Structure 1
């Protein structure tokens, strides 16, 4: 007589007990919960039982797995949103492989798509999983930003490259402030990211923002980002003479935000040198701005001005010269220049 214990079969709930469309107080289906718990095995079981219960689809004939994936909770998150937010690459892979390749996954209550969330998490692997299986993956984010904005702001060049591989139109897309991804690369001093963006689309350097008409070159100059300035001038040199809402070219900003040796370096470029003579809406040249900024107490001995001494007598619309400002000041312009010091 055998004394061995009988083998126990793995218990699985009968199909009648699995109600994949039932939700909790948060509007979460069992698939949402499995995604939040990073439980890829449970996700697969839910898919298996859903397929086995053919004919139960609420929309009558729609692929039951696809229907599960499209269901949103109270925050308008699909299961894929939750999987990305909770950082489960394995669950993301399972969900995207089994989902409708033409479903775009709209934004949640916070304006985030799964692709945007993956980019913000600095996860190129999740980005690849989503873009590889979801042909129509939406890329939107809050306040008009895109997944490419998120990738730039997260400082992850690998994520950027993966997004640009499938969505080459994004470098020119702006958020509600009119900022492109290149504006953010300029602001956060990301020359390598700026180069990647410019190699895909040089025209992004010409796009001004909505409030101040500032291009990425203006932003880079206002923040003192010399390496980003050099990248933009290398790839899109024609944008050098564009001006903002006040008529400032990028050299007006550079005179305030960069050190003397950095400005000297820029002035070796003949295009940049020609901007020394350009006046803003009030008639101020970059040297007027430099004098008003008071960055260098020895203004008269400043090497920049010695090279352009003839410009020290140039006057603005108020008949005030650069030399006058260096000697007696110009409060009106000093306030403006002080914003960028």
Structure 2
């Protein structure tokens, strides 16, 4: 009868056994306040109970949970507010300031390491989370025993509005998740671009954090082919493309292994060349599947070799001399890779075939590393049998 009265919030019946509130409890050591917080949102009854039995505020059940934990888990905003208001008041027999009592209650962790905010986030109760965070914005919420901070949970569970709340209200939000992952890893894994943007804005240093396997958020974006996430991460810090995990693999290596292409229909060889990642290029070309990739065209008809001629420092000899490469493939504008070389044949040469030092363009060859490098690529292509294209023969000047 007592439990039924507590579950329904029937104060008339509960009042008849109010003298036993502190000593009576369920088999899991839940008091009348626990039962009420779990069962219904009767804030006025909570106020009546606490008026005569203030010590129940911090009473724990077998799981180490206060009534606040249970109210937050079950979405009972009225009870959460009533508990906080009582903790802030001068009522009750306490030897500590009411502000300390409030903080102590808000920060109490259960046997599983969960605070009331963990419970609100996990169960997607935004207004309860808002009340809890606003009451204690200075607290750096720790992770529970599953290594989940409230922020990490918010991202992983897709609670974007709660994530925004925590990032904008908490002064120093904690962000850890299982396996040394961060909230940024979670956004990359679960493909939440909006969350990713805000985390990068508020916690930019997370972009280089690695989990226990040495994986950055970009590694996970590459693994799951989350292209918008990858673009956001690379725009924030291009150096992350070169970060290696514990197996010495970059994000591009991971993309190779999982066979992903980009929105421009560029395969991993296109990306390795474009981003001038020589190790990745060699890694791909040593793979048995390289023959399927090496002459593939993107949306503009570029093969990886077409992109190679625009690089500045990449050693692409392994690409140019690969047995399956077509050095004379045409793009959508009917140009071969050799046609793309800018500079080489536009400079005057002397009778020996060397560039004429009297030419007004000679100094630009000597001072422009990009043109000089293009000349080297041109020579490399010609030695591999590349020729100029003649599909636009009407416009070619001889």
Give the distance between the partners of 2:115 and 2:225, measured in 1 at CA: 35
Show structure 1 runs of 5+ residues with no match.
Answer: 1-7, 280-284, 289-301, 313-341
Structure 2 equivalent of residue 261 of structure 1: 296
Structure 2 equivalent of residue 294 of structure 1: none
After superposition, the CA RMSD in angstroms is 3.6
SS in 2 for 1:27: coil
Aligned equivalent of 1:176, options 212, 215, 224: 212
Matched, 1:159 2:195: yes
Structure 1 equivalent of residue 53 of structure 2: 17
Q: Larger radius of gyration, structure 1 or 2?
A: 2
Matched, 1:186 2:222: yes
Aligned length, in residue pairs: 282
Shift of 1:63: 2.3
Q: 1:271 to 1:216 in 2, by over 3 A?
A: farther
SS in 2 for 1:20: helix
Structure 2 equivalent of residue 282 of structure 1: none
Shift of 1:265: 2.8
Give the distance between the partners of 1:195 and 1:240, measured in 2 at CA: 17
Give the distance between the partners of 1:190 and 1:152, measured in 2 at CA: 7
Matched, 1:131 2:167: yes
The question of whether the paired residues in 2 share the 8 Å contact of 1:149 and 1:180 is answered with yes
After TM superposition, the structure 1 = structure 2 runs for residues 1-341 of structure 1, keeping only pairs within 5 Å, are: 11=45, 12-13=47-48, 14-18=50-54, 19-53=56-90, 63-99=100-136, 101-211=137-247, 213-227=248-262, 240-243=276-279, 248-252=282-286, 255=290, 258=293, 260-262=295-297, 265-270=303-308, 277-278=317-318, 287=322, 304=326
Give the distance between the partners of 1:58 and 1:232, measured in 2 at CA: 66
Q: 1:45 to 1:55 in 2, by over 3 A?
A: closer
SS in 2 for 1:72: coil
Give the distance between the partners of 2:120 and 2:267, measured in 1 at CA: 37
Give the distance between the partners of 1:91 and 1:218, measured in 2 at CA: 43
Give the distance between the partners of 1:68 and 1:124, measured in 2 at CA: 26
Give the distance between the partners of 1:169 and 1:237, measured in 2 at CA: 28
Show structure 2 runs of 5+ residues with no match.
Answer: 1-11, 13-43, 330-380, 386-398
The question of whether the paired residues in 2 share the 8 Å contact of 1:26 and 1:74 is answered with yes
Give the distance between the partners of 1:40 and 1:75, measured in 2 at CA: 23
The question of whether the paired residues in 2 share the 8 Å contact of 1:127 and 1:162 is answered with no
The question of whether the paired residues in 2 share the 8 Å contact of 1:105 and 1:137 is answered with yes
Q: 1:42 to 1:27 in 2, by over 3 A?
A: same
- TM-score for the superposition, normalised by structure 2: 0.62
SS in 1 for 2:102: helix
Give the distance between the partners of 2:274 and 2:93, measured in 1 at CA: 62
SS in 1 for 2:303: helix
Instruction: Tell me which of the two structures has the higher relative contact order, counting C-alpha pairs closer than 8 angstroms and 6 or more residues apart.
Output: 1
Q: 1:270 to 1:259 in 2, by over 3 A?
A: closer
Q: 1:150 to 1:79 in 2, by over 3 A?
A: same
Q: 1:226 to 1:62 in 2, by over 3 A?
A: same
- TM-score for the superposition, normalised by structure 1: 0.71
The question of whether the paired residues in 1 share the 8 Å contact of 2:164 and 2:198 is answered with yes
Shift of 1:209: 0.6
The question of whether the paired residues in 2 share the 8 Å contact of 1:205 and 1:232 is answered with no
SS in 1 for 2:58: coil
Structure 2 equivalent of residue 334 of structure 1: none
Q: 1:251 to 1:22 in 2, by over 3 A?
A: farther
Q: 1:250 to 1:135 in 2, by over 3 A?
A: farther
